[in-house]
Structure 1
């Protein structure tokens, strides 16, 4: 009888534990969901706060100091501390905007063939050898700080352009070369992921129909992976557009309209990094720099929207 009662007691305890166990799991799941929601809400609050803060500071140039929006985006003279005949600050940001877009697009044009070609080599031509050869190079390039890129550009690229082409060596061409190397690992890594996402069944079907290896790669794999490759290039452009220190060291930082790739120019980021520490908070010069920062932030949002649009089209297809 004692054994029977003990077994019954153990069985009862086991049943109670089995019933209590799901409840504890439910509590843990609820806590996990709550922590996740808190983290997401915190991220949303931080992002919104940053945008509101930058927008408030950036728009002060137009609302407090009565600068012209049209003159800001089309003017060629940058001297916010000076006033024109109408009493408005002379804040023409067209040279910096032009320099930023020029460096970004040229770096993307120079980088995209190299990155996509390396990705094709790593995935379609020689996966094992390409992985051994290019993966360490990508990891090395990712780990190099931007100031080192800028110093290498200042010590190697600028003297090379000065001695073998023309001018002082500073300019959009030097910034393009440095940025192309900087965004190469980002574009190549994303391109590799895009190409690997292409189903093997498409490759097998193309080869079965008599297509050569190159025809399969060019007409099937790359065309199927085109949305992912475009996303990779745009991610690289977003990084190039927001890069500051490396570009500042090699572009020359002259607030004039660029007339040549080999003459000193400037970008939004280079003027920001040069002037932010030399202005007083709330002054016209400081608010003008915040306006440049607002333009940079809006352009980052544009790049993000483009990436999401391409991603949705890829999922829909």
Structure 2
């Protein structure tokens, strides 16, 4: 009787395996959360040192227009105005998204609604190839092709916001296109069938039914592309000119948060003002990544409600 009771009460092999699986899952989640929290803490502690240790005015940092951390201004504080880099980052991000979105939507409509077979054979391999190209290759192409083209057409040196926009447009196009394709495919088939049954043409169905139903997914794709463009460093550094000045036109040299970071982080001493202000720029980038993620979540929730 006791042997039977022992057999019935002891855990089976499958139950033990399930318990181990849960333990491994929770451990993995804990490690991921700990890594993310550690990154946030490290960047925040270094970035906030600019204001709490070096006593740099927060508003002068955000809205100042002069960037030369090794020099001191008339107010006795280092010249660490980050406004030119912030403006440059937002300009190339929004402009590249504006240029990439129509191309991405057109390619996605072709792959899903017009000619799925040809899209899978031709466009899909091209998009996958664009995803796999390293950033430095995009930068070299931009430096060798786009910058001279901008110089010959628009004048100036060729370096600037416009060249950076073209490079980032090519870089974010695969991301926006792929996610837009998924958004169009997620539209229920009966939407199309009902529209066609009511007498709408294929183009009317695509424009007034499919695209409108996929708007939340398309917006999510665009925001993902913007997040990729905002955080791009090497390629944009090679074509934007890296001048810490507020851009007066699209063809004058400018800079972004990432270009100044990659140029200066290896030439500063840890704990110095020059190093701390670079970490403050990194903190802005981290904050913007959070903003993009929040926007994506809000769009996703509205899409589910609709």
Tell me which interval the TM-score lies in, with the shorter structure as reference length.
over 0.9
**1:81 corresponds to which of 37, 59, 70:** 70
1:295 paired to 2:289: no
- The correspondence for 2:302, drawn from 300, 308, 313, is 313
Is residue 274 of structure 2 the alignment partner of residue 285 of structure 1? yes
The aligned residue for residue 12 of structure 1 is: none
Query: What is the distance in 1 between the residues matched to 2:23 and 2:190?
Result: 42
Partner of 1:212: 201
Q: Deviations over 1:195-254 (max 9, x none)?
A: 000000000000000011111000100000000000000000000000000000000000
CA RMSD of aligned residues (A): 1.5
1:108–1:21 CA distance, 2 compared to 1 (3 A): farther
Deviation at 1:22, TM superposition (A): 7.0
Q: Does the aligned pair in 2 maintain the 1:245–1:273 contact within 8 Å? A: yes
1:122 equivalent to 2:123? Answer no
Instruction: Name the SS for the 1:107 alignment partner.
Output: helix
Deviations 1:252-281 (A, max 9, x none): 000000000001000000000000011000
Identify the residue that residue 271 of structure 1 maps to in structure 2: 260
1:182 maps onto 2:177 in alignment: no
Q: What CA distance in whole angstroms lies between the structure 2 residues aligned with 1:220 and 1:70? A: 47
Structure 1 position 247 matched with structure 2 position 198? no
Whole-Å separation in 2 of the counterparts to 1:66 and 1:22: 61
What is the DSSP-based 3-state SS (H/G/I as helix, E as strand, rest coil) of the residue aligned with 1:262?
Answer: coil
- Residue 123 of structure 2 is matched in structure 1 by 134
Measure the CA separation in 1 of the matches of 2:149 and 2:187: 41
User: CA offset at residue 23 of structure 1?
Assistant: 1.5
2:146 corresponds in structure 1 to: 157
Is the deviation greater in 79-88 or in 185-194? 79-88
Question: Once the 2 structures are TM-superposed, how far is the Cα of residue 19 of structure 1 from its aligned partner?
Answer: 6.4
Q: For the residues of structure 2 that align with 1:110 and 1:29, how far apart are their CA atoms?
A: 50
* Structure 2 unaligned residues grouped into runs of 5+: none
Shift of 1:20: 9.3
Partners of 1:21 and 1:301 in 2: CA distance: 47
Larger Rg: 1
Equivalenced residue count is 302
> Match of 2:35?
46
Secondary structure class of the residue paired with 1:257: coil
Aligned to 1:223: 212
SS of equivalent residue, structure 1 residue 71: helix
Partner of 1:253, secondary structure, is: coil
1:85 deviates by 2.4
Give me the TM-score of the superposition, normalised by structure 2: 0.96
Residue 200 (structure 1) aligns with: 189
**How far does residue 150 in structure 1 lie from its aligned partner after superposition?**
0.2
1:131 Cα offset (Å): 1.1
TM superposition score normalised by structure 1: 0.93
Deviation digits for residues 12-37 of structure 1 (CA, Å, limit 9, x no counterpart):
xxx99x96997211111111011000
What is the match of residue 23 of structure 1?
A: 12
SS at match of 1:80: strand
Aligned residue number for residue 97 of structure 2: 108
Secondary structure in 2 aligned to 1:300? helix
Q: Show structure 1 runs of 4+ deviating over 2 A.
A: 18-22
